[in-house]
Structure 1
Amino acid sequence: MRIGDLAAQAGVSSRALRYYEEQGLLTSRRTPSGQRTYADAAVERVRLIQRFFAAGLKSRTIGQILPCVDTGHGSAEAMALLTSERDRITAAIADLAAARDALDRVIDHAQHPSEEHCPGLRDPAWSEYVPAAVL
């Protein structure tokens, strides 16, 4: 099938397919006129690649995992890589949760100002005028 057909069936852009090829995730054959053609099985491969991307994996990592998919045998290295990626995502989630919590505190202080958090409430902007000569 041609690149436009694969893109339509897999629900991705032709540009994405070219990128997958550049990264070694997908292969095509060329016609004598230079057009890309793909096997029917490419639809499922592209959908799998999309699931890997949706899981937060990078193209380099996907390239390391696909040989296990192709052979049907997972390796200890592949499992370690997937576990490492899960740990990376878990840490990113924790960082985002901490940032959200800090922002929630800022929002709360803005909505409920107190002397503790708002210097303007401790030292009013107005004060009685005392001429310097009196001091």
Structure 2
Amino acid sequence: MRIGELAARTGVSVRALRYYEEQDLLASQRSASGQRRYAEGAVDRVQLIQQLYAAGVPSRSIADLLPCVVNGRATPELLERLSAEQARIDSRIEELTSARDRLGSVISNAIANWRTGRSCRPG
């Protein structure tokens, strides 16, 4: 598939796809006219890259991880780095969950105050 189709199917900009290639996260073949052509598996790969970026995993770690995903092989060092990334993500999830819960409490209090006619603004 061409780069525009891959962008449409993944919701990722053409510019981002080119960046992924520059970072060796994604590969394409060139047609006789020089256009990029991607295999069908590129859709899943781009979605994985997007998920990892969204989790805050840096491109270098993603580049190291992708061969492990493709062929199932990993070094002890890579597994240690990936475990550290997973722990970092777990910690961030806990922080976000706490922030969400506190915000929920603020919203509940504001609704209760609104219903009773009290202001939640500082007096």
Larger CA Rg, structure 1 vs 2: 1
Unaligned runs of 5+ in 2: 99-121
Aligned to 1:66: 66
Q: How high is the TM-score relative to the length of structure 1?
A: 0.63
Residue type of the alignment partner of 2:21: E
Query: How many residues align structurally?
Result: 101
Give the 4+ runs in structure 1 shifted more than 6 A: none
User: SS of the residue aligned with 1:67?
Assistant: helix
User: What amino acid maps onto 1:75 in structure 2?
Assistant: T
- The 5 A counterparts of 1:1-135 are 1-88=1-88, 90=91
The Cα of 1:42 is off from its aligned counterpart by 0.5
* Whole-angstrom distance in 2 between the partners of 1:51 and 1:75: 22
Between structures 1 and 2, the one with greater helix share: 2
Q: CA deviation at 1:15?
A: 0.7
Report percent identity of matched pairs: 54
Q: How far 1:72 sits from its partner (Å)?
A: 1.8
Q: Which amino acid in structure 2 is aligned with residue 73 of structure 1?
A: R
- Backbone CA RMSD of aligned residues: 2.6
